[in-house]
Amino acid sequence: MSSSFSRLPDTQGYFGEYGGRYVPPQLEKVLQEITEAYEKIRNDESFQKELDYLYKQYAGRPSPIFHAKTLSERCGGAQIYLKREDLNHTGAHKINHCLGEVLLAKRMGKKKVIAETGAGQHGVALATAAALLNMECDIYMGDIDMEKEHPNVTRMRILGAKVIPVVRGTRTLKDAVDAAFEAYLADPETIFYAIGSVVGPHPFPMMVRDFQSIVGKEAREQFQEMTGKLPDYLIACVGGGSNAMGLFNAFLEDKEVRMYGVEPSGLSLNEGEHAASLTLGKPGVMHGFKSYMLQDEEGNPLRVYSVASGLDYPSVGPQHSFLKDIKRVEYVTVNDQEAIDAFFELSRVEGIIPALESAHAVAYAMKVAPTLPKTTTLLINLSGRGDKDIEFVVNKYGKNYGL
Amino acid sequence: MNKTLHEVIARKKAVGDFLLSLYITAGYPHLKDTPQIILELDKAGVDFIELGIPFSDPLADGPVIQKASQIALNNGFRISHTFEILKEVRQQSSIPILLMSYLNPIYHYGIETFLNQAHIWGANGLIIPDLPLEERGLFTPFLDKYALDLIYLLPPNAPDERLHAIDDASTSFVYVVAYAGVTGRENSDPIHILPFLQTLKKSLTHPFLVGFGIHSHQDIAFYSRYADGVIIGSAFIKYLEKVTEKNIPKKTREFVHALTSPPA
């Protein structure tokens, strides 16, 4: 595979015109150090061996692919397959990059890892990796998200992490990122900022993608073993876009594989009621990188919303912006109600409760499957399980589903 | 390059004097306060002004300026108000004004359009804390055309080659960040930065001003020995929090007076 994709980003961290490193200069030196340390370990056999061991013996990799036959039959068209990242230790794909980031932090001699979290999945995964590898861990989380996702807050605390409520701005993911940056700026020498998605200044979008790319690598092999061919469609939800990049990355050169990134259209496509950054945003610079971004006419990020806390971010990983522009990936939307329907449908016909984030990908598959022949295959990245969401979903939507 | 800014710096340097710059968030505490605050600062002897364009996610700023920015945005501040402020100030004062903005508001406005407006209404330069040196090419093609200086921030942990690269790119002065962290730390002890300041005195070809966490007469006395000037931001913003609207002019003068005169 000798095409352009494997060389992205360039040495300055650009995917086409997106990405880069737009940070206050106090951070430049330490980001360069992380970049250099990462370049070293990415080709270091002992590091890769240690990471592989943890993936297999600790996180439970490889995650299986499951053919959701009943769901496929009920949709009455294409065959739906699930890459079961929900079965990983800690219940989502986030453990993949957290193990990588904390191992790297440890090798760099850092004492503490910090991060933001939205739904709490990244926070839990980082707290887990930090506990395993004996690092201190501070997690910044909007107090609104803390209330909604309190089981994950409890998990992080049990694991020994400090959860710091963020009460500034919109009190959700965007502001948690601001708060984590502020803490990082104050002590970049002893802290490692283990950012939670394929966002932020270079090298984070590249590094997190690489650690997540295990998902696509496995899926590519497993799927061919199961069916003798590659999937026709890949479908993944996109907030920051880490699970989608993880799946897509291994298939970018396979021109026959169509890819769909699913953004949350929330309550509507009106301002403040969705988080469809790629669908409705414009290029802008925030949190240290250039990408599509939902912003007002003054360049301030807009308020965003999704029923899934892990998706409500007004920007998106820069590689997704690039893949949109070159039309390699198509970005579509699914709203709250469709995601909730998919949440119950998958739970009730396959016995799998998906995370609300992942339910967006399932919902899109349910929409598109009926329009396709029975021979077409769809592979969804089922990026997380829904345990964290059950209370919220039942309280808010249960009545319509007999609960 | 901006002539007025250079003259002010050169005049002070010539007599071995120390430069005092104050930061104010545009549209804070109230939308219409800013021109009057700037004029008072000028009268009180401040050498130049950093006029902050409020942004909702100011990565380099601490809680005080974050809050001021949010208040200004809630007051209804728009980027176009920046130019109205300049217009009003310029009827009475030629004090150099540097516009401090994060990249995205300018990027979104249109970089050249923004610089053109800044020039028309009499701004003298720009400070963009999240613009890396490597991306200065977004701005440099227009700086001469619109007679503006772009000021770069030099972090306290900068390696030698970075220091020289920033010095080389600078056209008027270098903005030295006093500590790793966001603006407005209250207990920052300047003594830690002393060896670095001594290095800068030897290595930099441009004058340098120190900013971040400077809030007292004592701080200024310290920096006046090792730097060419200081920039004060959060301390002034915080002070204005408690000032009633009608007292703003008087209190602004008092603030500068307290900074520049030794405590009684």
Tens of pLDDT, residues B202-243: 999 999 999 999 999 999 999 999 999 999 999 999 999 999
Residue B22 corresponds to which tokens in the numbers above?
Answer: 């104050």
Q: The domain A62-91+213-401: what is its CATH number?
A: 3.40.50.1100
Pairwise CB contact (< 8 Å): A168 & B66: yes
Our CA-based measurement puts residue B168 at a distance from the nearest CA of chain A, in whole angstroms, of 16
In whole angstroms, give the CA distance from residue A182 to residue A178: 6
pLDDT(B109) > 70: yes
| Mean pLDDT, chain B, integer | 95
**B56 vs A24, A169, A285: nearest CB:** A169
Pairing state between β A377-382 and A233-237: parallel
Residue of B nearest to A176 (CA): B57
DSSP symbol at A64: P
Mean pLDDT of B22-36: 97
Place of tokens 């219940």: A91
Our CA-based measurement puts residue B160 at a distance from the nearest CA of chain A, in whole angstroms, of 12
Domain A15-56+94-209 coded CATH 3.40.50.1100: yes
| Mean pLDDT, chain A, integer | 95
| Angle subtended at Cα B126 by Cα B15 and Cα A25, rounded to the nearest 5 degrees | 95
The pLDDT assigned to A150 comes to 86
What predicted TM-score, i.e. pTM, was given to this entire model? 0.95
Pairwise CB contact (< 8 Å): A12 & B134: yes
Looking at the structure of chain B, the number of domains it has is: 1
In whole angstroms, give the CA distance from residue A99 to residue A132: 9
- Would you put residue A61 in left (φ > 0), alpha (ψ -120 to 50) or beta? beta
User: Cis link prior to A62 (omega < 30° from 0)?
Assistant: yes
Residue B117 corresponds to which tokens in the numbers above?
Answer: 């407006």
Kindly list the residues from chain B whose CB atom is less than 8 angstroms away from the CB atom of residue A189.
157, 180
SS3 content of chain A, % helix, strand, coil (to 5): 50, 20, 30
Our CA-based measurement puts residue B234 at a distance from the nearest CA of chain A, in whole angstroms, of 15
The pLDDT assigned to A156 comes to 97
Pairwise CB contact (< 8 Å): A285 & B62: no
Confidence of residue A6 (pLDDT cuts 50, 70, 90): low
Our CA-based measurement puts residue B123 at a distance from the nearest CA of chain A, in whole angstroms, of 19
- In this structure, the dihedral spanned by the alpha carbons of residues B159, B163, B166 and B171, taken in order and rounded to 10 degrees, is 170
Our CA-based measurement puts residue A30 at a distance from the nearest CA of chain B, in whole angstroms, of 9
CB atoms within 10 A of CB B209: 23
Residues 82-111 of A with CB under 8 A from B: none
Q: What is the DSSP track for A321-333?
A: HHHHHTTSEEEEE
The pLDDT assigned to A7 comes to 81
Q: Helix or strand or coil: residue A136?
A: strand
Q: Does A23 touch chain B (CB under 8 A)?
A: yes
Among residues B183, B19, B153, B249, the alpha carbon closest in space to that of A22 is found at: B153
**Does residue A242 contact residue A317 with C-beta atoms inside 8 Å?**
yes
pLDDT(B161) > 60: yes
pLDDT(A1) > 50: no
Mean pLDDT of B49-65: 96
The whole domain housing B77 covers 3-260
- Would you put residue A261 in left (φ > 0), alpha (ψ -120 to 50) or beta? beta
Kindly list the residues from chain B whose CB atom is less than 8 angstroms away from the CB atom of residue A175.
57
The pLDDT assigned to B99 comes to 98
Mean pLDDT of B251-261: 94
Mean pLDDT of B250-258: 96
**Does residue A382 contact residue A352 with C-beta atoms inside 8 Å?**
yes
Q: CB-based burial of residue B56 (10 Å sphere; 0-12 exposed, 13-18 middle, 19+ buried)?
A: buried
Confidence of residue A166 (pLDDT cuts 50, 70, 90): very high
Q: Does B132 touch chain A (CB under 8 A)?
A: yes
Q: Does B135 touch chain A (CB under 8 A)?
A: yes
Residue of A nearest to B56 (CA): A300
* Residue positions counted in chain A: 403
Pairwise CB contact (< 8 Å): A29 & B103: no
Confidence of residue B264 (pLDDT cuts 50, 70, 90): low
In whole angstroms, give the CA distance from residue A170 to residue A178: 11
Q: Does A13 touch chain B (CB under 8 A)?
A: no
Q: Which residues of B are catalytic?
A: 50, 61
Catalytic one among A94, A174, A290, A324?
A94
Q: Is A116 a catalytic residue?
A: yes
Pairwise CB contact (< 8 Å): A300 & B73: yes
| Angle subtended at Cα B174 by Cα B168 and Cα B177, rounded to the nearest 5 degrees | 125
Pairwise CB contact (< 8 Å): A29 & B129: no
Q: Which of A22-26, B106-110, B119-123, B155-159 has the lowest mean pLDDT?
A: B155-159
Listed in order, the ranges of chain A carrying CATH 3.40.50.1100 are: 15-56+94-209, 62-91+213-401
Confidence of residue A172 (pLDDT cuts 50, 70, 90): confident
pLDDT(B178) > 80: yes
Mean pLDDT of B157-177: 94
Helix/strand/coil (H/E/C) assignment for every residue in A145-181: HHHHCHHHHHHHHHCCCEEEEECCCCCCHHHHHHHHH
* Residue positions counted in chain B: 264
The pLDDT assigned to A394 comes to 96
pLDDT above 70 covers what percent of chain A? 99
Pairwise CB contact (< 8 Å): B104 & A178: no
The pLDDT assigned to A4 comes to 63
The pLDDT assigned to B16 comes to 87
User: Cis link prior to B35 (omega < 30° from 0)?
Assistant: no
Query: A297-348 pLDDT, tens per residue?
Result: 999 999 999 999 889 899 999 999 999 999 999 999 999 999 999 999 999 9
Question: Residue B103's domain is classified under what CATH number?
Answer: 3.20.20.70
Query: A128-156 pLDDT, tens per residue?
Result: 999 999 999 999 999 988 988 888 999 99
Kindly list the residues from chain B whose CB atom is less than 8 angstroms away from the CB atom of residue A187.
180-181
